[in-house]
Structures are given as C-alpha cells and as structure tokens.
A and B are shown apart, each in its own frame.
Chain A
Amino acid sequence: MTSWRPTPSLVRSCLLALGGVTGGVVLGQEVLVVLAAPFAVLAAMGLLSRPRTSPHVSASLDHVRLHEGQGTTSRLLVDDLTGVEHVSRATARATHVVTRPVHGAAGSLVEDGLPVVHSSPRRWGRRVVGAERVALTSPWAGWRWGPHDLPERGFNVLPQTAPYDTRAEVPQPDGLVGRHRSRRIGSGTEFEGIRPFATGDRLKRINWPVSLRTGDLHVVTTRAEQDASVWIVVDGLSDIGASGGIDGAASTLDLTVRAASALAEHHVRTGDRVGLLVVAADATRVPLGSGSRHLHRLQGTLARIRTETRSVAPDRLDLGAGAGSVVYVLSPMFFTPLVTATVSLQRSGGTVVVIDTIGDTMADTMADQPGDRLALPSLAARMQRIERDDRVRRLAELGTPVVPWRGPGTLDTVLRQLARRGRVPKVRA
C-alpha cells in the first residue's frame, strides 16, 4: 500500500542540518552551523508539512470511442488533495499512440490544476493507454506519496473515416425503398420518359403540355427508387508492409480496413443495407443492416481484425446473400484460395468488384533495397509481386473487375460499366 514517505531532499536537509549543528557543538566548528543553517529551515518546514491523508488516485479518459487520429484527454482524479502541493505523472509509451507531453511526463502545482495527458491513437485496432505512475508531493518537497501505478485501459480504435464518395449507381438495387434508381419503372421521382396514356395510369401523371400539343393524353413515367444490399469482404489473412499509422506509410491491412470503413459509411449514409465478412483466422460475419448503429457495429468489427500466421484462406465465401447483392472484395490478393472463392462468387450470380489494396507497399519494400536486387528479401518480394499480378490479371480475364483503391471516385467507372452490363438483354440457354 502506498503511503507518505520522506523525500531524498528532506532526508538530505535533515542530515545536513543535524550534522552541521552537531559538528558545531561537539567539534566546535562554527562554520558548520553557518553552512547548515539554510538546510535547517528546509528540514523544519519539510517535516512540519507532512500530510496525514490517504489519497485515492485514479484516472479517466474523456472518450473511449475514437477514430484513428482523434484525441482524448486522460484526467487524474484524487479524492483528497489536503497537504498535496505538486502532482506528477508519467505514462508508459504505447504502440501507435502519441501523447502530449511528447514523452508522457506531466506535472503541475495543485493550485494550477491537476496535470492532464492528451493521447491520440494513430492506428486503428486494439490500443492500450493509461498505464502510468503518479506521485504526489507535499509542500517543501518533504513527503512523497507514490509513485503509484495506475492500470492500463484498452479500447478499440475505429478506422479513419477516409473521404469517399461515388456518383455511380449501384448496379442491382434490390430493396424496397432507397436512393438508388431502379431498373424498373415505378412510382418514384426520377424522370424516365413520356408515353401515351394507358388504362390504369394515374391522372396526376398526365403531362398536359405534351397532351395539348399532340392531341392525345400523355403521362410522365418515373423510375422506382430502391436500396441495395452491399457486402464488403475484407481480407484479414495477411498484413504486408510496415504501418506508420495515419501519419506514415500504410500497410495492406491499413488500406483494406480504411477502404472498407469508407465504403461502409458511404453506403450506410446512402440508405443501403451493408454486410461485412472478414476473412481471417477468426472469421467474422456481420449480417446486412442499415443505420448509424449498424455502421458502428461494422467499424467496431473492422477495428478488431487480427492477422495470424495460421490464417488459411477459405475455399468459398459464404455470404448467405441472394444474387442481387453487390460484393466488394477488398484484398491485396496474395492468396490463391481467396481468388478462387471470389471467382466462384462471381459465377454464382453476384456483382463482384475486387478492390486492390496493395497500394505502394511492395514498391516501398523493393525500394528499400535498391542496390541489392539479388538479396533474398528483395527477390522474394518481387516473386510475390509477380505471382500476385498474374492472379489479378487472370481474375480480370474471368470478368471480375479489379480496381486499385484510390479513395473518392474509385468505383465510379466500374460501377457504371456494371450497371450498363446489367441492362444488356441476356439470352439464357
């Protein structure tokens, strides 16, 4: 149990004061009395300022739900500050968490307020903050309580909400209501055309200018508006490259998770139903849903992704979804079984788009050893890259569009092409 103990400063003052007085009296060295006089004052004041309390110290974070890059403040709570003059705290360094003060040590006089430490996680995932030591000091630096260890606290840091938007339609909206234009004509507000009046048409849809000009009744036709079901498949099997957090280079998993978060947020905000499948050692599947609560669930699931060496790619992707869904597969495509599973999904009738999340990771890896192209790591990286490129090329040849993640507008072109492809009449055997 922590208690108030004399500081080395007080002990030093006491020893010098008593030694000086003793030396002056016993040995007759008057100079010692002169030299010990200031220390006698410090010793006396330090001894008299002894606190009698048993403080209880804890710390709290202002926020426990953060996106990477956001910040929170850790505040100390001391139940009894009687007899305490100064409070100091030193936090332990945590991976991918920056603090202000930079090295995590803060201290202040009690009359100036208790010291605070600002923390900001720089990468999504499970982060730990709050492991720290706290010390209380009495007036005249006579007594110290602590250092007292405070336990660490962990929380999930959600991926950064990367700016993402697309103006392209989802190819196969299949819901009942929503903001996507349906392929079918219905009672929406999106203009489709004008045609002659037919029995059953609503009178309010008659276009009077055209009807007067042509002499026959014409009505305006509109398209129904539907929502879409979107599946996001995240490859959590591997993480290539070193992650520097949001301030530095991004690993493949960084790109994957941030892109998935951006896509999920975009589609949920659009009113679509979004599901998530994490392909990893402990595969996670979040069923289709909508709304901000569901978005939080998706982002929380993304923040918990872990890569493990024992991860094995599945032979098939079990989405439990109908053929009308749009499936985004976010992966650097390093595993052949995942490629096979993606092709199987495409052949089962889904609209599949592969989003390549390799980014500049491999290029950076190879650029690290520019002089030694025959070094084993460089050779392995190049061979892996060649195999991956071949896999992606074959995937594209089989009809699955592959687009590199570029943020806003990444999917515009490919979604328009898929929408056009969906409108082409099909001849079934």
Chain B
Amino acid sequence: MATSFRLAAPGVTTPVVALRALVVLLPCAALALALPEVPHWFVLVVVPVTAVMWARAPDHGVGIIPLVLVAGWWAAHGVVDWRVLVVAVLLLGAHVAATLLSYGPPTLAVDPHLVRVWVVRALLAVVPVPVAWLAVRGLDPRQAPAWLWLATAALTGVLLLVTTRLTRSESAR
C-alpha cells in the first residue's frame, strides 16, 4: 500500500495515483462514448485539461468544469439512449474519486475501509439514475398539466434557497 510511484511526488502512493487517473480518465471516457461523433474542439480540449487540473487539486473548484461540460454536451445533443446511464455512472465515479482524494494531503494513504464506504454510497446514489432515465423515456412532457411545471420550478427555487442557506458556513452568518 505504501509503495511509492516513481512518476509521482515523494510519498504519493500507488492507490492515490490510481484515483487521480480515474479523475482524469472518467470524464474523458464519458465524452468518448459519443464516438464516432466527435465533440466540438473546445470541449475536446477543455475537458481533459480541466480534468488534469482537478486531479492535481481535488479540492479545487475547477472540478466542476469537466462535469458540466460533459453533461452539457450530452444534454445539448438530446441523446437519451443507454449511453446516458453510463455517462452518469462515469461522472459519479470521477466525483467520488476526487472526494476520496480530498480527505487529506496527497501523501495520505487511501484507507480501504473508506473506499468501501464510498463504493456503497456511490451504488446508492446510482439508484435514482435508471428511475429518472425510464421516466424521461416513458413520460411525455406535453401531457403533463401546466401546474406541474410551475410546482417543479417553485420546488427547484426553494431547494436552491435551502441549499444556499445550509451551505453557508457559520462564520459567514
């Protein structure tokens, strides 16, 4: 477990390097699922670059960029086939890998027990994905009553406010 990786900084263990590789590769793989369709060059360049930056600093805000770009590209193309399920899992995998890396400094060894805990949590988080996918594929939004959209928009706004209030630190209050 404590074996040092030659290409990494002193003290960085092989599991940490593997997690960093996942942070880089999973968003790229989510984009590669679109082949043979090739995404726009901007997406092709920015996703790997920001993923590398995210892998270097898992706590940095740059981590949201590759996730948003990949999700936005798939949304913009309106693909609702099986690949969306895989993309959701890949993006979640990158997020969980970055979360595991953010528990301490780069020299902190990866705790296998913590990894097991997060694998279980990731599986739990994946549960609503097929439900939402089936709902998107099976339900026709044109048949929904108008108040449903208003209620959904209101609920989203409330969630936004609640989240903003909850995530404010005590010192900022």
Contacts and interface: CB of A to CB of B under 8 A. Distances in A.
B74 to A, nearest CB: 6
A25 B152 contact: yes
A36 B74 CA distance: 12
A22 B117 contact: no
Given A8-B60, A10-B167, A16-B68, A102 B133 contact: no
Interface of A: 1, 3-16, 18-23, 25-43, 45, 47, 50, 86, 88-90, 101-109, 112, 135, 137, 140-141
A51 B31 CA distance: 37
Interface stretch (B35-43, B44-52, B122-130): B122-130
A89 B128 CA distance: 35
16 contacts: A5-B169, A8-B60, A9-B99, A14-B163, A18-B159, A21-B159, A25-B152, A31-B74, A32-B75, A35-B88, A38-B122, A88-B103, A89-B104, A104-B107, A105-B104, A108-B113
B56 to A, nearest CB: 14
Contacts of A140: 121
Nearest to B122: A38
A12 B64 contact: yes
A88 B122 CA distance: 22
A109 B117 contact: yes
8 closest A-B pairs (Cβ-Cβ)?
Answer: A103-B11, A103-B107, A88-B104, A38-B125, A30-B136, A105-B108, A29-B75, A37-B128
From A25, A38, A102, name the one whose CB has the most chain B CB atoms within 10 angstroms: A38
Interface residues of B, number: 64
Contact of B111 (A27, A30, A109, A135): A109
Contacts of B58: 8
A50 B71 contact: no
Contacts of A43: 163
Nearest to B95: A12
B167 A14 contact: yes
Contacts of B125: 38-39, 41-42
Contacts of B79: 31
A90 B99 contact: no
A88 B105 CA distance: 9
A40 B128 contact: yes
B158 to A, nearest CB: 11
A101 B124 CA distance: 33
B109 interface: yes
Contacts of A16: 64, 67-68, 71, 95
